[in-house]
Structure 1
């Protein structure tokens, strides 16, 4: 223990590097120009979430080439993200997309390509400005949390093909829209109540697939090489300089083949299927606010229940991320809870990156966020009332 100080310079150096990189990232984020798009749903989209899956596949093209370390470290460059949002304000439902300005035209063109009868308008005043500047206050309260996957990223959740069932006739498919329950919760809000669900996404590189494949190889008893971080390598090199250091002997035994149960085999097949599609680094955040005298906690249960329908016991599901939940613990419970609520409101308004990100592929994303079909009959779900068209050729203009 007398040689602990040998590690100090290396640890301090890496700590300073992390602080400086965080500083440059915050500067880069602050400089981003954002645009908020309001999506108005067609009367009958006539399409399954497969159409939205194609939108997410196209938007993956916004992934830049690998960022050079000097640009990442000195300029804070990072992969930009987009927030897909479903919002209920006093019983009325809205679909929003908040995006960096540079992606706005691309997003609009891809949505129109799949949903030509939809309407997209750029919102000059962000809806979050309708919320009180600070919550909780004397008359209003809030509750919020982020969601994470309950298992590893490479295991899939229940997706839209599993919400479909064959009905009478070979070409007729009965589709249960997973957004129907969310639309009902949002339409039940009263004046002064608000629910917002944010799906924060940015394109992921192929690293998650390699990591998933390595984990599956391990489960099947196949060998996989574990990588080491730069900090670990430096610490090990310092260890060699300490008198009395002994190198650990390497075990070259081949891993034994593991006999998997039928349930685990099905889970591995589902994971392999997930990894065949493009992935995004994601975060999910939801918030409910309302008057204190009329604060319906059943709405919170309703939103949690919406995400329960995506659960598959053998593979994956969503759960609340406990560190993000807006409640405090003893001691100073009230003050801690107040601070967490203020912090959460700011994160929601700024569409900040989640505390803990995870990977969803384009099929999973389209299951959670898509334009609902005609079967979702929520009375306060605005739809396009009439189809717009070009004027006839030769129309006289006075």
Structure 2
């Protein structure tokens, strides 16, 4: 038996050796191409100039998340240049980072972008929220002295979708937030649970939530949605639409209508991650559950929702991680990628999911006064323009 296995190995080795002239050049070209693309993209990214904008929200926001949807529409920047730009200069599509941060219960809202987009962001935000105040801020992540040897505890996770991209999450439209109300107190605020959790951070605790976005390229996600609709309708191109519709249940019809509405709007590729820090003796395990539940209100049993992705949730048992080697590696990756706002490119490349502007505006918008979290930074008074006849 041993001789037979040895004979088989010899044949395999001889085959690989004799055919190397055919497959080895292909493999080397493929490896070189991958290394080249990673190198030029890293060089391009290293030369980008970033700024961090803090947004202080108006004390009273009466607009629905549709206002944020209009802001996001203005940030659709899908171009990555021509082929020369991509494969010689390493140009990549631009991306943005929307961040909600709680430092000991004090909540701040940030937008990290390339410096060239500062005026564009200000114009779009002020057009919908004229009472907001936008100012450049220092990077708060630089004030966190965490590493695997520090006494500061860290827990973190990224998020993924529970279903394929075309299935939409529960949006502000589904909650009826797109409609006006006679009584402001009757309004529903989807971000209220998130803000209440962030506002509950105590002394020595911090929670960072990051939503990274870049415009989708191509129509592949829409084509996937159309194929899904055809599958849910149990039809082929020969079927009559009217005949198929009569066979659908109300639940199936609702799902199909939601998918059709979803793929009709512009979309972004998205990555979400959350980090929880606590000083020695302050770590509260209940905040792990609370952080993972931050996006639960957007889930629906027959459509889409959020679940934990890359992070410490993959380590279920002690034997999954010898001497905490994997834990330390994961935490360092989460911390470094958060600080660098990295998600779409090497060395912290992840697989993004797709959210349209309605879905993205649902999970990130400027909350109304219904969200009465006292530690959320808001503008204390309204800004007013000087009189037109003011003498100079």
- TM-score normalised by the chain length of structure 2: 0.84
User: Who is 1:119 aligned against?
Assistant: 133
1:234-264 CA-to-partner distances (Å, cap 9, x unmatched) read: xxxxxxxxxxxxxxxxxxxx9xx99766544
Are 1:345 and 2:335 counterparts? Answer: yes
Aligned positions of 1:324-343 closer than 5 A: 325=313, 327=315, 330-343=320-333
Structure 1 residue runs without a partner (length 5+) = 225-253
User: Who is 1:379 aligned against?
Assistant: 374
User: Who is 2:272 aligned against?
Assistant: 284
User: Who is 2:284 aligned against?
Assistant: 296
Cα distance in 1 for residues equivalent to 2:389 and 2:234? 73
Are 1:85 and 2:61 counterparts? Answer: no
Cα distance in 2 for residues equivalent to 1:29 and 1:46? 39
Select which of 168, 192, 198 maps to 1:186: 198
Cα gap change, 1:46/1:219 in structure 2, threshold over 3 Å: closer, same or farther? Answer: closer
Are 1:142 and 2:142 counterparts? Answer: no
Cα RMSD after superposing both structures: 2.7
1:68-121 CA-to-partner distances (Å, cap 9, x unmatched) read: 333212211111100001110111000000001111110011000000011111
Question: What count of residue pairs does the alignment treat as equivalent?
Answer: 361
Cα gap change, 1:310/1:137 in structure 2, threshold over 3 Å: closer, same or farther? Answer: same
Cα gap change, 1:390/1:322 in structure 2, threshold over 3 Å: closer, same or farther? Answer: closer
Name the SS for the 1:46 alignment partner.
coil
**Contact kept? 2:189, 2:368, Cα under 8 Å:** yes
User: Who is 2:3 aligned against?
Assistant: none
Aligned positions of 1:223-242 closer than 5 A: none
Cα offset, 1:356, TM superposition: 1.9
Cα offset, 1:161, TM superposition: 1.8
Shifted more, 148-157 versus 265-274: the winner is 265-274
Shifted more, 134-143 versus 6-15: the winner is 6-15
Cα distance in 1 for residues equivalent to 2:45 and 2:327? 27
Cα distance in 1 for residues equivalent to 2:71 and 2:94? 17
Structure 2 residue runs without a partner (length 5+) = 1-11, 345-349
Shifted more, 281-290 versus 6-15: the winner is 6-15
1:333-359 CA-to-partner distances (Å, cap 9, x unmatched) read: 412211221221111111101522010
**Contact kept? 2:155, 2:312, Cα under 8 Å:** no
Cα distance in 1 for residues equivalent to 2:118 and 2:128? 16
Cα distance in 2 for residues equivalent to 1:100 and 1:136? 30
Cα distance in 1 for residues equivalent to 2:298 and 2:147? 31
Cα offset, 1:330, TM superposition: 3.6
User: Who is 1:57 aligned against?
Assistant: 73
User: Who is 2:226 aligned against?
Assistant: 213
**Contact kept? 1:146, 1:325, Cα under 8 Å:** no
User: Who is 1:229 aligned against?
Assistant: none
- TM-score normalised by the chain length of structure 1: 0.83
**Contact kept? 2:40, 2:89, Cα under 8 Å:** yes
Shifted more, 1-10 versus 280-289: the winner is 1-10
Select which of 199, 218, 230 maps to 2:211: 199
**Contact kept? 1:326, 1:341, Cα under 8 Å:** no
Cα offset, 1:332, TM superposition: 2.6
Are 1:12 and 2:28 counterparts? Answer: yes
1:121-142 CA-to-partner distances (Å, cap 9, x unmatched) read: 111x21111211x334342110
**Contact kept? 2:321, 2:327, Cα under 8 Å:** no
1:217-240 CA-to-partner distances (Å, cap 9, x unmatched) read: 35545679xxxxxxxxxxxxxxxx
Shifted more, 362-371 versus 155-164: the winner is 155-164
**Contact kept? 1:135, 1:141, Cα under 8 Å:** no
